[in-house]
């Protein structure tokens, strides 16, 4: 089985032709036999070519990107992507950082980045909990209004009519778990 070097290039808009061309040039110079490319924002858009690249790579392959921000939206997203790659036995190389998870140093750097991101997230959640507790104590925080609970009568009526939980959820615009919770509590 031969391993492949597969590239992924992305720019946020179709106007960024020079940026895409530069990525393609660098990926080709890095030895990429196949390159998946797209011109979509990483934030609100499904990245179909990234999904195709992740599906395409096989054990022993290396996925190459020019910069980390071309691959991942956030550190959590990066951890998710690298987890998928690791599960498939695929290495990741980031040209701008000279990072290659096929090397011990590359694995260490990726783990350090992931640990730092997780630490930052925990700190942020702790600050958020403290802020909510303070706001509640001052009477400034009520929490989110329970939207599904307001539809209890409708849920019970539709269930009595013989509708399924899925049908009730779709008709009322609530989640299945909310429907089941209301039915359980009734």
Domain architecture of the chain: domains with CATH: 5-103 (3.40.50.1390), 149-185 (1.10.10)
The percentage of residues in the chain with a pLDDT greater than 90, rounded to a whole number, is: 39
The two tokens of residue 165 are 């939980």
Is the whole model's pTM more than 0.75, yes or no? no
31 and 3 in contact (C-beta within 8 Å)? Answer: no
pLDDT beyond 70 at 43: no
Known catalytic residue at 12: yes
Q: Which one from 12, 41, 175, 177 is the annotated catalytic residue?
A: 12
pLDDT in tens, 81-127: 999 999 999 999 999 888 899 999 988 988 887 777 778 878 888 99
So what's the pLDDT on residue 149?
79
Chain-wide mean pLDDT for the chain?
Answer: 87
- CA 26 – CA 30 distance, rounded (Å): 6
């Amino acid at each position: 089985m031969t391993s492949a070097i597969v590239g992924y290039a992305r720019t946020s808009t179709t106007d960024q032709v020079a940026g895409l061309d530069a990525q393609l040039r660098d990926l080709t110079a890095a030895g990429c036999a196949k390159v998946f490319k797209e011109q979509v924002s990483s934030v609100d858009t499904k990245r179909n070519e990234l999904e195709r690249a992740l599906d395409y790579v096989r054990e022993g392959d290396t996925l190459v990107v020019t910069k980390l921000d071309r691959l991942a939206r956030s550190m959590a997203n990066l951890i998710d992507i690298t987890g998928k790659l690791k599960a498939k036995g695929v290495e990741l190389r980031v040209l701008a950082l000279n990072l290659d998870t096929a090397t011990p140093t590359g694995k260490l750097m990726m783990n350090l980045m992931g640990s730092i991101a997780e630490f930052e997230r925990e700190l942020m959640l702790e600050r958020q909990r403290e802020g909510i507790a303070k706001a509640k104590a001052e009477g400034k925080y009520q929490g989110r209004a329970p939207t599904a609970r307001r539809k209890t009568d409708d849920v019970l009526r539709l269930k009595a009519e013989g509708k399924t939980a899925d049908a009730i959820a779709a008709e009322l615009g609530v989640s299945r778990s909310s429907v089941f919770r209301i039915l359980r509590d009734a």
